[in-house]
Structure formats: structure tokens, C-alpha cells
């Protein structure tokens, strides 16, 4: 990944942080955009390379995104690659799901992806192309009760990914997504309590409950995410655009 200049939104935590470390290890320059400054700075300190940087950015704000990209390009050179991993998720019965939760989820998961893709593509068109990777979800393909808003946002990410991919396919910009099942990150440390309520389980039983329903009987590893992401943002996948990789251990095949 030498020569790549990559922005990872939501890179302070979970899959974004795992990708940041893995991409720097492979020679890329990586800028993490996240609201969580403490975790973002700790990550960059742990990576301990001049090729990793943290920017405190609210990815629902286009001006803030564009200003941070100016700084990244001044520090690392022209942007080549963008990963949208910032996300939020709550599990609630439909009738208890508030308008505020709708706005937050749509803003972070869908609108921010739209804004970031716009900013990234404006830059990429000037430099001859690039790659965008959107972290979607199995919930971008498969309905889930108590996750109506989250599913709606991730189904939206799928439509956005495919439409942008089509529009820029002949301009050397590839846009793909990953649809993971369950990755045990901070997101699920919180969600397992909510899911336990839904199924009347002990929170500590939730992950084993899921494993029982996955044909491979294991959750997604961060390494699985890294492998798929490296594939999608390098020339290994040069003929793929508008596609999604289902990282689901056989649970879903469409």
C-alpha cells in the first residue's frame, strides 16, 4: 500500500482502528477522522509512525471534512483512498424509536457517507482516481426487528455505494462496501445488552447465541475485515466496483 494516502472515518475505534493499523503496517499514510479524540490520539501513539495522524472531525459536517482533508493533503500528499467506518447503532422496538434516533443514525451512517464521498471524489477527480470503501452491514441487506432505523441507514449505504460506483466507473474511481455480520467491537459491548432484552437472554449469552446461528459458528474477526478491506482498496480488486463483500460466515448469500 506504499503511496496510498487514506482517510478512515470512525478510525478511533473498532474496525476503523484495526484498518488504520493494518494499512500503516502495509506502507500507507493514514489519517483518522473521528470525534473521539482520546481514543484517536492513543491509537496514533500506539501506531507510533509519522505516517499516521488523527484529526478531530465530525463527519456530518461537510465544511469540517473538507478543511481536514486540506490538512491531510498538505501533510501526506494527494488523497488516494477513503474508508467510511464512522457509525452508530441502537436496538429498540420500532414504536419506541425516536425521531432523534432517526436523525442521529441517518446523519452519521448515511448522510456522512454521502458528504465524505462527495469530498473524496472531488479530490480524486483532480488526481486521476481512487478507491472508496463504505462499511455497510449485513443489516444493509437483511431486515432486522428492533433495528429498523439502522437497517434503513445501511440499506441506504448500499444504494449510495452502487449509484456512485456507476457514475464514476469510467473515471477510475471504484466504490465498494463490506457487509459484516457481528464484529465484537465497542458497538456490540453496548448492543449485547439491548439484544439480550429483545431475546430475553443474559447479555453474556448473546455472542454464543449468535455463533449458534452462523453456519461457520464464529463471529467476524477484525482480521477478516482487514483482509477484505485491503483487497477492496488495492489493485487486487481492480475490476470490482459497486460490489459488496458479505463477511457473514455463510449466514447470507445475496
Ligand X SMILES: NC(=O)c1ccc[n+]([C@@H]2O[C@H](COP(=O)([O-])OP(=O)(O)OC[C@H]3O[C@@H](n4cnc5c(N)ncnc54)[C@H](O)[C@@H]3O)[C@@H](O)[C@H]2O)c1
Least separation in angstroms between CB 185 and ligand X: 3
Closest CB to ligand X among 213 and 238?
213
Q: What's the gap between Cα 54 and its chain centre?
A: 17
Q: Name the catalytic one among 55, 150, 184, 195.
A: 150
Closest CB to ligand X among 44 and 182?
182
Give, as ranges, the residues between 68 and 87 that touch ligand X (CB under 6 A). Answer: 85-87
Given a contact cutoff of 8 angstroms between Cβ atoms, the answer to whether 247 and 180 are in contact is: yes
Decide: is 148 part of the binding site for ligand X (CB under 6 A).
no
Give, as ranges, the residues between 163 and 192 that touch ligand X (CB under 6 A). Answer: 180, 182-183, 185-188
Least separation in angstroms between CB 35 and ligand X: 4
Site string for ligand X, 187-226 (x = CB under 6 A): xx--------------------------------------
- The catalytic residues are 150
What is the binding site for ligand X (CB under 6 A)? Answer: 9-10, 12-16, 34-36, 57-60, 85-89, 108, 135, 137, 180, 182-183, 185-188
Amino acid at each position: 500500500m506504499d503511496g496510498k494516502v487514506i482517510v478512515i472515518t470512525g478510525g478511533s475505534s473498532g474496525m476503523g482502528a484495526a484498518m488504520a493499523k493494518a494499512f500503516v503496517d502495509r506502507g500507507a499514510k493514514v489519517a483518522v477522522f473521528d470525534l473521539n479524540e482520546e481514543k484517536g490520539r492513543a491509537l496514533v501513539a500506539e501506531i507510533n509512525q509519522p505516517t499516521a495522524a488523527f484529526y478531530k472531525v465530525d463527519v456530518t459536517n461537510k465544511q469540517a471534512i473538507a478543511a481536514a482533508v486540506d490538512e491531510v493533503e498538505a501533510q501526506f500528499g494527494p488523497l488516494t483512498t477513503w474508508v467510511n467506518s464512522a457509525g452508530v447503532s441502537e436496538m429498540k422496538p420500532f414504536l419506541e424509536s425516536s425521531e432523534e434516533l432517526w436523525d442521529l443514525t441517518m446523519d452519521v451512517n448515511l448522510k456522512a457517507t454521502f458528504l465524505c464521498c462527495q469530498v473524496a471524489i472531488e479530490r480524486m477527480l483532480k488526481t486521476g482516481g481512487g478507491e472508496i470503501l463504505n462499511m455497510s452491514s449485513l443489516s444493509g441487506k437483511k431486515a432486522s426487528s428492533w433495528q429498523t432505523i439502522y437497517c434503513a441507514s445501511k440499506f441506504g449505504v448500499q444504494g449510495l455505494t452502487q449509484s456512485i460506483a456507476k457514475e464514476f466507473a469510467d473515471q477510475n474511481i471504484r466504490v465498494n462496501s463490506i457487509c459484516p455480520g457481528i464484529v465484537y467491537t465497542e458497538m456490540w459491548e453496548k448492543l449485547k445488552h439491548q439484544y439480550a432484552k429483545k431475546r430475553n437472554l443474559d447479555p453474556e449469552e448473546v455472542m454464543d447465541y449468535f455463533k449458534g446461528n452462523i453456519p461457520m459458528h464464529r463471529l467476524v474477526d477484525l482480521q477478516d475485515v482487514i483482509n477484505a478491506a485491503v483487497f477492496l482498496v488495492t489493485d487486487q480488486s481492480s475490476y470490482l466496483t459497486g460490489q459488496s463483500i458479505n463477511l457473514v460466515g455463510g449466514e447470507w448469500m445475496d
